[in-house]
């Protein structure tokens, strides 16, 4: 990232002043040059504001029956209509969005922590440890993830905690692979050898020397994990395997599923919200990818 | 020689993975609250301590963990996955009854996604900045972001109220009579929407991948040589380039297979497709643990077999690939 530290024109006019940009601000410039990514970011901020500030403005209780069931969107003052119990869908969407996004974020954090740990140790130590850890990863790739987390949720009860854990423990394999390949590459570089010759310990080398330099692709992957965890939670709720006392987007879809032919909007609207959120996240992911790996830009 | 060695290694390794899956399943069920005796007692409307003790002895639940595990593993080795208390049927029979429907859905969707995805990717790669390339980019964003059940439900709404040409639920129409051919056609008719729904997620991924790897291959020296010596563009694209660009698509398609099965669970629920996913959901809601474990076992078995097939296919496409 140091190659564009000075611009020739600036050097011509003011010979003694070099324009040095901080890598982070350079990254931000790259990111904001990508219109799709900026649109994604704005969309995500909008959705977050709507779900976290909205309930203070639109104070209807999402669990309370307020009108006749299946009121069409826009009628009787219900922007998104009412569901099969006559509950306000707009209120459910706002409160449910908080839960969906919180579960998505928490599950993604769990899977990133597991994935980075497994990948880092495999890539750093190599040999038998790498072999064992990668076999372990492959094992989790063989299990059909949704089926496996359905089983976990069914066995240990559907609560926010079990659903989050069930998603987190099955979706870390991609992070582990990315982390391992970055570690394999970076551990051979000179600055790692330099740190090693200064008798740095393994823990220091892994977490303070290599990991910070391995972060860019991990960040991109982690960002995508949030999106897929939101989708995952929605699928579990859709199947009726989420905490029935917690509103989430998937929960709205799952509880209205039997009535799709009478009231398609009650399912289509929350589905669209999930779609927009995940779309925004993946647009941001593309932008981050370009901004963090300038060398990989042409694809 | 080399090929057979690879296959033998992969099969042996696959068996180890299967045993690991079984051990994990068994451990999970053992540490979960409640056991089979509770389920059976629940089904009988309650039982006293003496009866519970009897049930536990009968099913070997009074034995230490490793004895139970060993008994379970040796039974599974003979394809005896236990007995479903909920359906009153041996689990293996139950699963083999539902497996064909799921395999039909999963394989047809995967084949549809790989073929259409690759074709789209190849056509898009001809013009990296053309309209089709843009379509592929949009498709891949849509495919990742759209929840699969949402796509399915939108299709149902579309095909029920606007174009009622495809059935939206089930696998066969019981009112249709006729020979094998008529029945098969009926199943295909029912298959259309679930297959397209399931394929939509993966089609996006494969088309993006095929486009990227075609672009890379098209820049290679041998493609330039082929063009320079006057090989027709069609032959260059579909024979010279595609053969080398197919590798990444096949690799990822193999890796994605367990995701396809996960997707099929949801798609089956949307379209009431009578397969393993529907069975899994029902048995999970009924806490029918032997059936659940059997389904996990069979689906892992299918994934492992597909992974082995992928390895072989890859080696057939590209003889340079050595084992691993």
Instruction: Give per-residue pLDDT as tens, B75-121.
Output: 887 777 777 777 888 888 888 888 888 999 999 999 999 999 888 88
Scanning chain B, the segments in alpha helix (DSSP H) are: 2-31, 36-44, 49-58, 65-77, 91-126, 131-145, 148-161, 180-218, 221-228, 233-235, 242-255, 257-271, 276-285, 289-317
Beta-carbon contacts below 8 Å between A and B: 130
- How high is the mean pLDDT of chain A? 80
Contacting residues of B for A138, CB less than 8 Å apart: 17
Contacting residues of A for B281, CB less than 8 Å apart: 150, 239-240
B128 or A49: which carries more pLDDT confidence?
A49
Mean pLDDT, residues A79-102: 78
Q: Is the pLDDT of residue B128 over 50?
A: yes
A272 or A75: which carries more pLDDT confidence?
A272
Report the residue from B17, B147, B295 with minimal CB separation from A142.
B17
Report the residue from B25, B147, B157 with minimal CB separation from A234.
B147
Mean pLDDT, residues A198-223: 83
Give the distance from residue B294's alpha carbon to the nearest chain A alpha carbon, in angstroms: 12
Q: A46, A21 in Cβ contact below 8 A?
A: no
Model confidence at A15, pLDDT cuts 50, 70, 90, reads low
Q: Is the pLDDT of residue A152 over 50?
A: yes
Mean pLDDT, residues B134-151: 84
Among A130, A132, A154, A298, the strongest candidate for a mutation testing the B interface, having the largest count of B CBs within 10 A, is A154
State the pLDDT at residue B176: 67
Model confidence at A299, pLDDT cuts 50, 70, 90, reads very low
Token pair, residue A211, equals: 């990991």
Among B102, B134, B153, the strongest candidate for a mutation testing the A interface, having the largest count of A CBs within 10 A, is B153
Give the distance from residue A100's alpha carbon to the nearest chain B alpha carbon, in angstroms: 13
> Is A144's CB within 8 Å of B145's CB?
no
State the pLDDT at residue B127: 78
Q: Is the pLDDT of residue A8 over 70?
A: no
Model confidence at B323, pLDDT cuts 50, 70, 90, reads very low
Mean pLDDT, residues B263-275: 88
Task: Output the CA–CA distances (angstroms, integers) from residue B300 to B13, B22, B146, B295, in the order listed.
Answer: 13, 10, 26, 8
State the pLDDT at residue A118: 92
State the pLDDT at residue B132: 79
> What is d(CA B197, CA B264) in angstroms, rounded to the nearest whole number?
9
Among B38, B212, B262, B311, the strongest candidate for a mutation testing the A interface, having the largest count of A CBs within 10 A, is B262
What's the pTM value of the predicted model, to 2 decimals? 0.83
State the pLDDT at residue B72: 80
* Chain B 165-184, residues with CB within 8 Å of chain A CB atoms: none
Model confidence at A193, pLDDT cuts 50, 70, 90, reads confident
Model confidence at A107, pLDDT cuts 50, 70, 90, reads very high
Give the distance from residue A16's alpha carbon to the nearest chain B alpha carbon, in angstroms: 43
State the pLDDT at residue A110: 93
HEC letters along B75-138: HHHCCCCCEECCCCEEHHHHHHHHHHHHHHHHHHHHHHHHHHHHHHHHHHHHCCCCHHHHHHHH
For B301, name the nearest residue in chain A, comparing CA atoms only.
Answer: A142
> Is A282's CB within 8 Å of B145's CB?
yes
Q: Is the pLDDT of residue A269 over 80?
A: yes
Q: What is the pLDDT of residues B169-188, one digit of tens each?
A: 777 766 666 677 777 777 77
State the pLDDT at residue A33: 79
Q: Is the pLDDT of residue A14 over 60?
A: no
Q: Is the pLDDT of residue A3 over 60?
A: no
Residues ≥6 apart with Cβ < 8 Å to A88: A60, A62, A64, A66, A67, A78, A80, A82
State the pLDDT at residue A77: 64
Instruction: Pick the range with the lowest mean pLDDT from A142-156, A178-192, A248-262.
Output: A248-262
Mean pLDDT, residues A141-153: 85
Report the residue from A143, A235, A264 with minimal CB separation from B21.
A143
Q: Is the pLDDT of residue A66 over 70?
A: no
Mean pLDDT, residues B269-285: 86
> Is A156's CB within 8 Å of B32's CB?
yes
For B297, name the nearest residue in chain A, comparing CA atoms only.
Answer: A143
Mean pLDDT, residues A222-228: 87
Mean pLDDT, residues A153-162: 83
Among A138, A140, A144, the strongest candidate for a mutation testing the B interface, having the largest count of B CBs within 10 A, is A144
Mean pLDDT, residues A139-146: 85
Instruction: Pick the range with the lowest mean pLDDT from A256-270, B14-28, B36-50.
Output: B36-50
- The DSSP secondary-structure symbol of A65 reads B
Percent of chain B at pLDDT above 70? 89
First-residue to last-residue Cα distance in chain A: 19
* Chain B 183-212, residues with CB within 8 Å of chain A CB atoms: 212
Q: Is the pLDDT of residue B39 over 70?
A: no
Among A145, A147, A254, the strongest candidate for a mutation testing the B interface, having the largest count of B CBs within 10 A, is A147
> Is B150's CB within 8 Å of A267's CB?
yes
> Is A142's CB within 8 Å of B259's CB?
no
Q: What is the pLDDT of residues B229-254, one digit of tens each?
A: 888 888 888 887 888 778 888 888 88
B122 or A294: which carries more pLDDT confidence?
B122
Task: Output the CA–CA distances (angstroms, integers) from residue B206 to A267, A285, A299, B254, in the order listed.
Answer: 28, 19, 15, 11
For A261, name the nearest residue in chain B, comparing CA atoms only.
Answer: B157
User: How far is C-alpha B21 from the chain's CA centre?
Assistant: 17
How many CB atoms neighbour CB A245 within 10 A?
A: 10
- How high is the mean pLDDT of chain B? 81
State the pLDDT at residue A297: 46
Q: Is the pLDDT of residue A209 over 70?
A: yes
> Is A261's CB within 8 Å of B160's CB?
yes
Report the residue from B144, B145, B300 with minimal CB separation from A142.
B300
Give the distance from residue A260's alpha carbon to the nearest chain B alpha carbon, in angstroms: 7
Token pair, residue B259, equals: 């995701």
Mean pLDDT, residues B17-23: 86
For B216, name the nearest residue in chain A, comparing CA atoms only.
Answer: A299
Model confidence at B130, pLDDT cuts 50, 70, 90, reads confident
Q: Is the pLDDT of residue B324 over 50?
A: no
Q: Is the pLDDT of residue B306 over 80?
A: yes
């Amino acid at each position: 990232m140091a190659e564009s530290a000075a611009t020739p024109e600036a050097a011509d006019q003011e010979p003694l002043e070099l324009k040095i940009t901080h890598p982070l601000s350079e990254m931000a410039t790259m990111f904001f040059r990508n219109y799709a990514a900026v649109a994604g970011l704005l969309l995500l901020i909008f959705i977050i504001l709507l779900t976290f500030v909205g309930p203070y403005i639109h104070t209807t209780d999402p669990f309370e029956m307020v009108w006749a069931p299946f009121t069409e969107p826009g009628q009787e003052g219900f922007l998104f209509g009412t569901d099969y119990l006559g509950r306000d869908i707009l209120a459910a969407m706002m409160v449910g969005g908080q839960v969906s996004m919180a579960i998505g974020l928490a599950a993604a954090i769990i899977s990133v922590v597991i994935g980075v740990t497994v990948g880092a140790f495999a890539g750093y130590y190599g040999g038998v440890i790498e072999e064992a850890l990668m076999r372990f990863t492959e094992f989790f790739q063989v299990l059909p993830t949704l089926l496996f987390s359905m089983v976990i949720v069914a066995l240990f009860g559907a609560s926010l905690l079990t659903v989050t854990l069930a998603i987190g423990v099955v979706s870390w394999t991609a992070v582990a692979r990315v982390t391992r390949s970055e570690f394999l590459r970076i551990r051979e570089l000179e600055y790692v050898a330099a740190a090693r010759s200064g008798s740095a310990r393994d823990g220091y080398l892994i977490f303070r020397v290599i990991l910070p330099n391995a972060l860019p692709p991990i960040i991109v992957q982690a960002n995508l994990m949030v999106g897929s965890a939101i989708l995952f939670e929605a699928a579990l709720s859709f199947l009726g395997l989420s905490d029935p006392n917690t509103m989430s987007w998937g929960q709205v879809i799952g509880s209205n599923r039997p009535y799709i032919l009478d009231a398609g909007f009650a399912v289509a609207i929350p589905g669209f919200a999930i779609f927009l959120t995940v779309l925004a996240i993946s647009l941001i992911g593309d932008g981050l990818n370009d901004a963090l790996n300038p060398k990989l830009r042409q694809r | 020689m080399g090929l057979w060695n690879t296959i033998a290694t992969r099969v042996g390794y696959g068996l180890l993975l299967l045993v690991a899956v079984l051990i994990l399943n068994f451990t999970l069920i053992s540490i979960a609250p409640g056991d089979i005796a509770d389920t059976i007692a629940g089904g009988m409307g309650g039982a006293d301590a003496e009866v519970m003790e009897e049930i536990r002895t009968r099913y070997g639940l009074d034995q230490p963990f490793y004895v139970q595990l060993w008994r379970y593993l040796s039974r599974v080795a003979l394809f005896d996955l236990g007995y479903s208390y909920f359906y009153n049927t041996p689990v293996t029979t139950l699963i083999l009854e539902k497996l064909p429907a799921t395999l039909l859905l999963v394989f047809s969707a995967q084949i549809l996604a790989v073929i259409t995805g690759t074709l789209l990717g190849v056509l898009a790669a001809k013009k990296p900045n053309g309209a089709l390339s843009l379509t592929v980019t949009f498709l891949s964003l849509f495919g990742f972001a759209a929840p699969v059940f949402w796509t399915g439900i939108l299709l149902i709404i579309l095909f029920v109220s606007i174009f009622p040409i495809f059935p939206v639920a089930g696998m066969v129409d019981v009112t249709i009579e006729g020979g094998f051919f008529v029945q098969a056609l009926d199943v295909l008719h029912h298959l259309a929407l679930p297959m397209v729904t399931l394929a939509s997620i993966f089609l996006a991924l494969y088309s993006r991948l095929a486009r990227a790897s075609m672009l890379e291959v098209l820049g290679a020296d041998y493609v330039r040589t082929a063009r320079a010596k006057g090989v027709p563009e069609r032959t260059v694209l579909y024979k010279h380039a595609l053969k080398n660009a197919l590798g990444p698509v096949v690799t990822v398609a193999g890796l994605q297979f367990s995701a396809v099965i996960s997707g099929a669970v949801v798609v089956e629920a949307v379209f009431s497709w009578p397969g393993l996913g529907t069975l899994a959901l029902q048995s999970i809601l009924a806490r029918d643990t032997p059936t659940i474990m059997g389904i996990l076992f069979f689906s892992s078995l299918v994934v492992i077999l597909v992974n082995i097939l992928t390895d072989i296919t890859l080696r057939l496409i590209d003889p340079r690939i050595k084992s691993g």
